[in-house]
Amino acid sequence: MFGTSRHRHRKEILEAGFTDAWRSTLSVHMAHWDLLDDDEQERLGERAVDLFARVRWEAANGFLLSDEMTMLIAAEASLIALERPADSFRNVHAVVVHPTTMVMRGQHSQVAGLASDDPIAIIGQADPTGPVLVAWDAATHQARHPEEGNNVVFHEFAHKLDMLVGIANGTPPMDSVDQEQRWITACTGAYERVVEGRSKALRSYAGVNPAEFFAVATEVFFDTPALLTTHEPELYAELAEWYGQDPAARMSRI
């Protein structure tokens, strides 16, 4: 059977595994990399290689997408799912990388019952049955500057984790009824503070709907966790339990 060059390249990436070259790439371009211990780095590398090889990566608008760019996005996505089940991104089949901000046209709705057909500028998008869209200039800048608290890769792949239950509703798959109840209680309080303009940790976009709340909370949890431990400790605790990670403790090692 003949294989396409794309399939052959995926196979080569998978067979080569996580190389020293990939390690150097992430050390330079991904600020979170040096916060990880040796075991975390090894496992993240394995997951990133798997995502790189399994997913269809496409460049939009004639953009040239290099392996280094692809690996950075794959590693950023893999970080948030590092302690989740290995198949957590089973609903991610394609990632389309745009050079910069995109304009979404056609009817769209972010708030239930309200729809608009006005063009809207976006740097990312995730759809339950479609690809993940990412603007490269935002992704590469945010990977190097977690102190800004924004990360389009974390945001869109968090949506994909949320969608594992079939819809994006701000409550990803839970291990127990008790965990789900704690999650809902913590998230509801924090969400209400965002909507009321009282949140000191989450930007206003988190108040658009519960799905966007979870995605924005994920960005802050990994990038600026001290904001959550200080102002939303209950939310931080639930995110730490669900993600199985403690970014605040990592940051404290700097």
> Residue 249 sits in a domain of what CATH number?
3.40.390.10
pLDDT at residue 253, as a whole number? 75
pLDDT at residue 5, as a whole number? 80
Distance CA(76)–CA(219), nearest Å, equals 11
Count of domains in the chain?
1
pTM of the model: 0.93
Q: Is residue 189 situated within a structural domain?
A: yes
Q: Is residue 15 situated within a structural domain?
A: no
pLDDT at residue 2, as a whole number? 44
CB 217 within 8 A of CB 205: no
First CA to last CA across the chain, in angstroms? 51
Q: Is residue 8 situated within a structural domain?
A: no
Q: Is residue 242 situated within a structural domain?
A: yes
Q: Is residue 153 situated within a structural domain?
A: no
Kindly tell me the burial class for residue 61, based on how many C-beta atoms sit within 10 Å of its own C-beta (0-12, 13-18, 19 or more). exposed
Q: Is residue 81 situated within a structural domain?
A: no
3-state helix, strand, coil in the chain (%, to 5): 55, 10, 35
pLDDT mean values, one per 10 residues, the chain (254 residues): 72 91 97 97 98 96 92 98 98 97 66 56 93 98 98 98 95 97 98 98 97 98 98 98 98 79
pLDDT at residue 117, as a whole number? 59
pLDDT at residue 108, as a whole number? 43
Q: Is residue 29 situated within a structural domain?
A: no
Write out the residue range of the structural domain in which residue 174 sits: 169-254
Query: By C-alpha distance, which of 55, 41, 52 is closest to 16?
Result: 52
Strand, helix or coil for residue 114: strand
Residues 6+ apart with CB under 8 A from 92: 51, 55, 77, 132, 157, 160
pLDDT at residue 60, as a whole number? 94
Strand, helix or coil for residue 104: strand
Q: Is residue 99 situated within a structural domain?
A: no
